[in-house]
Amino acid sequence: MSGFDDAFRLLYRGTALTLRGAWGASKAAGRGIQRAHVTSQIRSSAAVGSRGYLVPGDPPVAPGAMGLLDYRGVATTRDIGGLHRTAAGPEWPIGTHINLGRGPSRPIGLPAAVLERHAAVIGMTTAGKTYGVLIPWIHAALRSGQSVVAIDVKGDLLDEIQKFGQRHGSSGARAAKWDFADPSRSISWSWIAELTSEDSIDAAVAAIIGRERPNSSADPFFHRRDSVLLRGLLAHALATAGRVASASDLLAILGDRKGLQRVAGHRGSPGSDDLASAITGLDDHDYGKAVSGVSTALARLNTAAIASVSRPGKFNIADIAKTPTLLVVGAQLAGGDRSVVTSSLFLNLFMAHAYRGFLTRSPRRTFLFLDEAARLANRFQFEEALSVSRGAGVSLVIAVQSPEQFREPSERGAIMENCGTLIALPGSSSATAQTVSDRFGRHTVTTMTTARGTGSGGVSMNRSFEDVPVLRSTEIMSPPLGQRPAVAHIKAPDLGITFKPILIDLQDNH
């Protein structure tokens, strides 16, 4: 072997020893870095564990950290930049943004263009829907020059709105209430005088008889017969040139079998076709059975209190578009079916006017605030209103305890899909919270696992990705901060507003 070969072997052996030493040192350093990183993660987990919830930007939590609320998907201060209030205040206040990492942030509000796309407010009784959301929004709508029709389920809504205005500045809008439970303070509005077209008659029939429910166990024949009979009766009343002014007058016409059958026999006269199909050829006994459903329905409206606020007066629905107006419609829970029927009558006839386009000729928009909205579902067509009313210059703000109060899945779906803004208050049922969670969607989060290697391998850390709800039911039901916490969600990406849920404190709205 040459001297050159010997020299090369010596050089190779020395290099190998050097590389082997360097590799061992690298492994030791790697184990040290890995242990340090795992230790850091464990310390982070301990800090989060003492806090009790995760916030945007938190690292993956080490295994063993149980019961943490996960708010990593909510909007940050940077995300909600477009919702900060101006010096003049927000158009539609939604309280104070809660920055979970630092606590309350700043008051925020929604542009008017967002609320034109309808809104839903979900919360149990006493959760704060009325004072935290509805009244501040009613005031905001009126101050911006719009009109408001609001359903009053307690009897004090007008007073509370006026008190709010005294604290936050007068809206300048004219205000009135239509409420048979408070006749001394109520305006008089004649629903019969509003029956000026076939669509308004159909609207009144839906309010008085109720809508046909596709999944009802009742025989649809009787519902259809009652609807046809009442439609014919109202059409006949419409042609009497002011001689019919109350439910009592309608019941008197209905009680005259021979007279009404003569009307049914005059083909071509108003209502005759509908009346003929319902009562032609019936004797006294069968006639009584045939008209009993309509008689019972009209009897709900045949009270002295309702008659006293239903006389022809100076107010009509078209006036709402002429000047900024607040009209509070009484629908007190204590009034039972009568409250539901009378409030539905107003809403249905209002929407009939809106669909004919009278509001679209005015730059003024009308907002309908429907508290305990599910009570009206059998008589007011929510799905249709949410789908098409925006084009008629009308926007809805629907307040409910739970979407599940609407029996028809299509109505629940319309509310969650067509309401651009959703505010969910805590304390809801798990079913409600799940429905809200489904609206927020899902996102991908990083999870971490640790494992101890064999021998001197030390602790290893592995990361993986998991698809989870943006907010689970628990996070929606129990926000950790705020005096009156809630979760807001806005679907208006074309306006540059974040799609992430926003944690808010409604205390600032009072």
Average pLDDT, the chain: 85
CB atoms within 10 A of CB 37: 12
Residues 423/488, Cβ–Cβ less than 8 Å: yes
Q: What is the pLDDT of residues 237-263, one digit of tens each?
A: 888 766 788 999 999 999 999 999 999
C-alpha span between 263 and 236 (Å, rounded): 8
Q: How confident is the model at residue 291 (pLDDT cuts 50, 70, 90)?
A: very high
Residue 314 pLDDT class (50, 70, 90 cuts): confident
pLDDT in tens, 33-73: 444 444 555 445 555 656 789 999 888 876 666 678 999 99
Q: In terms of pLDDT, which residue wins out, 148 or 86?
A: 148
Question: Over the stretch 457-503, which tens digit does the pLDDT of each residue have?
Answer: 666 777 888 899 999 999 999 888 888 999 999 999 888 899 999 99
- Radius of gyration, alpha carbons of the chain: 33
Do 117 and 95 form a contact (C-beta atoms < 8 A)? no
Q: Is 126 left (phi over 0), alpha (psi -120 to 50) or beta?
A: left
Q: DSSP secondary structure string, 9-64?
A: HHHHHHHHHHHHHHHHHHHHHHHHHHHHHHHHHHHHHHHHHHHTEE-TTPPPPPTT
Instruction: Write the pLDDT tens digit of every residue in 99-151.
Output: 887 766 788 999 888 999 999 999 998 888 999 999 999 999 999 999 999 99
Chain-centroid distance, C-alpha 320: 23
Can you list the alpha helix ranges (DSSP code H) found in 356-429?
A: 382-388, 409-418
Write down the pLDDT at residue 38: 47
3-state SS class at 378: coil
The 10s digit of each residue's pLDDT in 167-214 is 988 888 999 999 999 999 999 999 999 998 999 999 999 999 999 876
Give me the helices (H) in 117-271, please: 129, 135-143, 157-168, 198-209, 220-238, 247-255, 257-265
In this structure, the dihedral spanned by the alpha carbons of residues 48, 49, 53 and 59, taken in order and rounded to 10 degrees, is: 40
pLDDT per position as a tens digit, 383-417: 999 999 998 999 999 999 999 999 888 888 999 99
Residue 420: partners with Cβ closer than 8 Å, 6 or more residues away: 114, 115, 117, 118, 119, 490, 491, 492
**More confident site: 295 or 463:** 295
pLDDT at 216: 65
Q: What percent of the chain has pLDDT over 70?
A: 83
Domain boundaries, given as residue ranges, for the chain:
3-71+446-469, 118-189+313-419, 195-299
Q: Is the pLDDT of residue 15 over 70?
A: no
Q: Is the pLDDT of residue 357 over 80?
A: no
Mean pLDDT of 294-311: 96
Residue in the structure block whose two tokens are 């609001």: 150
Q: Which of 283, 300, 279 is nearest to 225 (CA)?
A: 279
Of 151, 134, 156, which is closest to residue 328 (Cα–Cα)? 151
Which residues are CB-neighbours of 289 under 8 A, at least 6 positions away?
none
- Listed as own residue / partner, the contacts of 104-109 with beta carbons closer than 8 Å and 24 or more positions apart are 104/481, 104/482, 104/505, 105/77, 107/508, 108/80, 108/83, 108/84, 108/502, 108/504, 109/83, 109/85, 109/140
Residues 6+ apart with CB under 8 A from 250: 233, 234, 237, 244, 298
Q: What is the pLDDT of residue 208?
A: 97
Strands 119-122 and 394-400, sheet pairing: parallel
Q: At 162, is the pLDDT very low, low, confident or very high (cuts 50, 70, 90)?
A: very high
Query: What CATH number was assigned to the domain covering residues 118-189+313-419?
Result: 3.40.50.300
- Judge residue 130's burial from the number of C-beta atoms within 10 Å of its C-beta, 0-12 exposed, 13-18 middle, 19 or more buried: buried
